[in-house]
Amino acid sequence: MVIPSYLSQFNYQLVGPEDGQRWVFLHGLMGYALNWRKIISGLESTERVLAYDQRGHGKSFKPMTGYASEDYADDLYLITEELGWDRFILVGHSMGARNAIMFAHKFPEKVERLVLEDIGPESRPEAIKYYEDLLGAVPTPFATKLAAKEFFLNEFPTRLRALGGHENANTLGQYFYANLIEIPSSTGEVTVDWRFSKEAIFASVKQGRAKDHWAELRQLPMPTLVIRGQNSNELSPEVFARMKVANPRIEGVEIPNAGHWVHSEQSQEFLRAIRQFAGLPL
């Protein structure tokens, strides 16, 4: 019997020269590997880069359970063991950054440098209701991609304001629209629905936000860069300041004219920050 590889359960992108410095990128909640395409394109000429849809997201496998930060960390361990990657630079955004903290805590020998984008280690158990309301405000499935596009252009900003959401409606709307795919039904009809599992999203928020990770952050032994968007409503200035003094190996960069999605809104500045942190030419 042929046993399938662990990596085969994931949709992934692996680019760049095989002898290049190794990097792994972890997307945020409801994201997928291609969210990093602007950043990866600025590295792949010299660096070996892996990005993948994490469990429950994109085209990767979607188990019924296993959405704690520890589960995501174990996935990355098994993937990199299969690839034979002993050491690499790890970059995570939002939920991916929390998963990166856990991975770096559990497997510090594998992480050469760590980059955490726009999230703190504090717990927020109440966050689940916001995400339930947020996804509930998007009337999936849509009949067509055009209908979805018109919704995000015209109705979504109003619904977001009604929820008290502070995100940029245009940025979040584009992010959500990119997460919609055409799905054929058993009758042959095609509807437009989420590429991720909603149950996985809710489980990830519940389990990932159930407890804080300050203790793990303080113990990290590798050089760590925390990147905050100046206009972020996710990583507050106060928590950002606390992170920088929690561990002498942590440094911080705040990027102007960016909110929570720094790598998308200010991709060149984000790329410059991580290249400088890694000692690469600017």
What local confidence, expressed as pLDDT, does residue 3 receive? 63
CA separation for the pair 186, 5 (Å, rounded): 30
- 9 Cβ contact partners less than 8 Å away, ≥ 6 residues apart: 60, 61
User: Quick one: tokens of 125?
Assistant: 């158990």
pLDDT for 280: 97
**pLDDT at position 185:** 77
As beta bridge partners, residue 117 has 93, 227
Give 151-160 contacts, CB < 8 A, sequence gap 24+: 152/176, 152/177, 160/134
C-alpha to C-alpha distances, 13 to 18, 42, 94, nearest whole angstrom:
13, 15, 20
CB 10 within 8 A of CB 60: yes
pLDDT at 187 (0 to 100): 78
CA distance 269 to 238: 22
AA letter at 146:
L
Tokens of 215: 């203790």
Q: Residue 263: name the closest of 121, 117, 46 by CA.
A: 117
- Check: CB of residue 23 under 8 Å from CB of residue 50: yes
φ, ψ for residue 254 (rounded to 5)? -110, 125
Q: What is the pLDDT of residue 186?
A: 76
DSSP-based three-state secondary structure for 93: strand
| Closest alpha carbon to 111 in 146, 85, 138 | 85
Structural domains of the chain, with CATH: 7-124+211-278 (3.40.50.1820), 127-203 (no CATH)
Q: What's the pLDDT at 9?
A: 96
Which residue, 56, 51, 6, 46, is CA-closest to 24? 51
Mean pLDDT by 10-residue block, N- to C-terminus, for the chain (282 residues)? 81 97 97 96 98 97 96 98 97 98 98 98 92 95 96 95 82 92 85 95 95 97 98 96 98 96 96 98 92
Cα–Cα distance for residue pair 193/80, rounded to 1 Å? 31
**Nearest-10 Cα torsion for 15, 17, 23, 24:** 30
The DSSP symbol for 195 reads: S
